[in-house]
């Protein structure tokens, strides 16, 4: 049975988590980050579940320690924080596998822990296969000068190990949070983030807006300039969409709380927490103007000599009451912007 470490300064939470998980794991608990670190130093744990807000070491800081002390342990952060910096630190510094938002539902807790442990086991297996493949390749080189039968046997074994390694890497890529081309959050992360933000908006009665962005005449640009140039355009657009107050070289900047994702192809999304429709329209039009004014390479091949985007905006609860409805409303508004002539912003009809 795998060992699980739960770290929280709330004794009631510790007991609740231990009771929920003890049938599947050997559960260890710690009342703060320092005590949790001590457990990590002496116990080979398969997973660490840490609350973010604790005295002394925060959850992110503890999980960052876990990266060094127990690199193959799954890392789960429990947080009620809406601060993007907390989440960014968790991804970039603590390499967190999963997030749990407070209040935590027990069914969600069990599912998230099992999923994270499975992902961590894939990572461990991936490293093991890399080591085995390296070792087998060495044996193959030595065997080449000996018996031909041994050579063929080892070649088949290397092929099988390579296949296993490739399959493990495919699984890891599916679980990745980032789009490989632009570095933005990917479609999977976007769906998870929308679920969390919709839940938070409904719980606290806050507004939430969604912006859909599509590059106008992108096929024309690809056909005339080539796919490498199209990829470079999408990368530049990703930089523009994620520009914040920390990037003074851009005239129009978003908030650090905006969640920018590549939805697919030449489509991008911006989730705007705590933003009503009027504010979202302002942000969307700034994006549209920023893109049309940016000096993209080879922009002269496009109609009117500019790279432009069509933008659709939808808001909760005005335009939709659930995730699927809000995504459809924003997407439909974006398509309406294209039909209306492109290079414009259209809001979902009330």
Catalytic (active-site) positions? 266
Residue 324 in tokens:
């699927």
Buried b (16+ CB within 10 A) or exposed e, 219-236: eebbeebeeeebebbbeb
Query: Quick check: bond before 289 cis, omega within 30?
Result: no
Query: Quick check: bond before 234 cis, omega within 30?
Result: no
CA dist., res. 10 & res. 17, Å (int):
11
CA dist., res. 9 & res. 62, Å (int):
13
Taking a C-beta distance cutoff of 8 angstroms, is the pair 120, 44 a contact?
Answer: no
Taking a C-beta distance cutoff of 8 angstroms, is the pair 329, 266 a contact?
Answer: no
- Residue 293: how many CB atoms within 10 A of its CB? 11
The residue count of the chain comes to 350
Beta strands in 102-167 (DSSP E): none
């Amino acid at each position: 049975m795998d060992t699980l470490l739960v770290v929280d300064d709330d004794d009631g939470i510790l007991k609740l988590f231990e009771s929920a998980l003890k049938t599947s794991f050997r559960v260890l608990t710690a009342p703060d980050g320092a005590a949790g670190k001590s457990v990590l130093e002496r116990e080979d744990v398969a997973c660490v579940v840490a609350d973010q807000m604790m005295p002394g070491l925060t959850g992110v800081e503890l999980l960052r320690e876990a990266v060094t002390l127990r690199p193959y342990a799954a890392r789960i952060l429990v947080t009620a924080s809406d601060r993007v910096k907390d989440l960014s630190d968790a991804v970039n510094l603590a390499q967190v596998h999963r997030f749990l938002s407070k209040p935590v539902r027990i069914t969600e807790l069990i599912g998230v822990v099992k999923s994270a442990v499975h992902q961590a086991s894939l990572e461990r297996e991936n490293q093991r296969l890399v080591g085995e493949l390296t070792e087998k390749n060495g044996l193959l080189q030595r065997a080449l000068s000996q018996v031909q039968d041994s050579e063929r046997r080892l070649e088949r074994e290397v092929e099988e190990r390579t296949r296993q390694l490739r399959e493990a890497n495919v699984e890891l890529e599916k679980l990745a949070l980032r789009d490989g081309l632009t570095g933005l959050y990917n479609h999977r992360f976007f769906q998870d983030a929308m679920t969390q933000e919709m839940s938070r908006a409904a719980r606290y009665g806050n507004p939430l807006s969604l912006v859909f962005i599509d590059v106008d005449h992108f096929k024309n640009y690809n056909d005339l300039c080539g796919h490498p140039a199209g990829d470079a355009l999408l990368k530049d657009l990703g930089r523009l969409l994620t520009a914040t107050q920390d990037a003074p070289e851009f005239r129009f900047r978003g908030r650090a709380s905006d969640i920018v994702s590549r939805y697919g192809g030449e489509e991008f999304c911006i989730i705007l927490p705590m933003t009503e429709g009027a504010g979202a329209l302002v942000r969307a039009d700034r994006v549209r103007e920023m893109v049309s004014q940016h000096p993209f390479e080879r922009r002269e091949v496009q109609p009117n000599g500019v790279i432009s985007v069509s933008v659709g905006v939808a808001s909760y609860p005005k335009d939709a009451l659930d995730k699927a409805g809000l995504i459809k409303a924003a997407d439909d508004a974006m398509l309406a912007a294209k039909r209306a002539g492109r290079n414009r912003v259209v809001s979902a009809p009330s």
